[in-house]
């Protein structure tokens, strides 16, 4: 009986791992010195086809970039950028540490930068630690106090907090 339980556990683990890979982002383009690290694992080159699941950090250096995609979401990670994918389900959630990303969303996406959160479902926008620019559609920007503001293309929002 112990062997049967072990087999069932192994099959379930395999199925769950496959399910996570199906929902993960995937590197579809990588140029220059672009790397990723899943959790606490070592840094690996961001090669085309590599899955990017939750808790994965992506880093680009000079003259490098990464494009990562999954159904309804495309992230274009610019040079000198570091992001952490904090979730892939039910929405793609990104924490922007440095640099800039361009997001094309036909599904739920959120990007946190400098205490601000940008949410979108059907939009194309750019986020840096200084602000967000909407190219298509509408985004919602939530400031550190929790106030939400809808911004439609072609507008921008500043994340720079000004003193009174």
pTM attached to this predicted model? 0.82
pLDDT higher than threshold 70 for residue 162:
no
Lowest mean pLDDT among 8-12, 74-78, 94-98: 8-12
Sign of CA pseudo-dihedral 64, 106, 25, 38 = positive
Supply 13's token pair: 């683990």
Q: 129: number of CA atoms within 13 Å, CB side?
A: 10
pLDDT higher than threshold 90 for residue 7:
no
**Domains defined for the chain, CATH in brackets:** 2-158 (2.60.120.1440)
pLDDT higher than threshold 70 for residue 46:
yes
> CA of 18: how far to CAs of 13, 23, 104, 158, in Å?
9, 9, 25, 40
Average pLDDT over the chain reads 86
pLDDT of residue 163: 45
pLDDT tens digits for 52-73? 999 999 999 999 999 999 989 9
pLDDT higher than threshold 80 for residue 49:
yes
Identify which has the larger pLDDT, 4 or 118: 118
What region does 137 belong to: left with phi over 0, alpha with psi -120 to 50, or beta? left
pLDDT higher than threshold 90 for residue 3:
no
Q: What percent of the chain has pLDDT over 90?
A: 76
Number of other residues whose CB lies within 10 A of the CB of residue 44: 11
């Amino acid at each position: 009986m112990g062997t049967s339980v072990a087999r069932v556990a192994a099959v379930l683990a395999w199925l769950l791992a496959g399910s996570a890979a199906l929902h993960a982002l995937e590197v579809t383009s990588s140029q220059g010195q672009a790397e990723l690290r899943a959790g606490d694992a070592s840094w690996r080159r961001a090669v085309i086809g590599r899955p990017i699941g939750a808790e994965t950090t992506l880093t680009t250096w000079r003259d490098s970039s990464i494009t990562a995609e999954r159904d309804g979401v495309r992230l274009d990670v610019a040079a000198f950028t570091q992001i952490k994918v904090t979730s892939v389900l039910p929405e793609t959630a990104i924490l922007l540490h440095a640099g800039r990303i361009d997001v094309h969303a036909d599904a739920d996406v959120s990007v946190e930068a400098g205490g601000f959160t940008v949410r979108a479902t059907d939009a194309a926008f750019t986020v840096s630690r200084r602000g967000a620019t909407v190219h298509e559609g509408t985004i919602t920007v939530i400031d550190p106090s929790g106030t939400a503001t809808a911004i439609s293309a072609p507008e921008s929002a500043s994340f720079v907090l000004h003193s009174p």
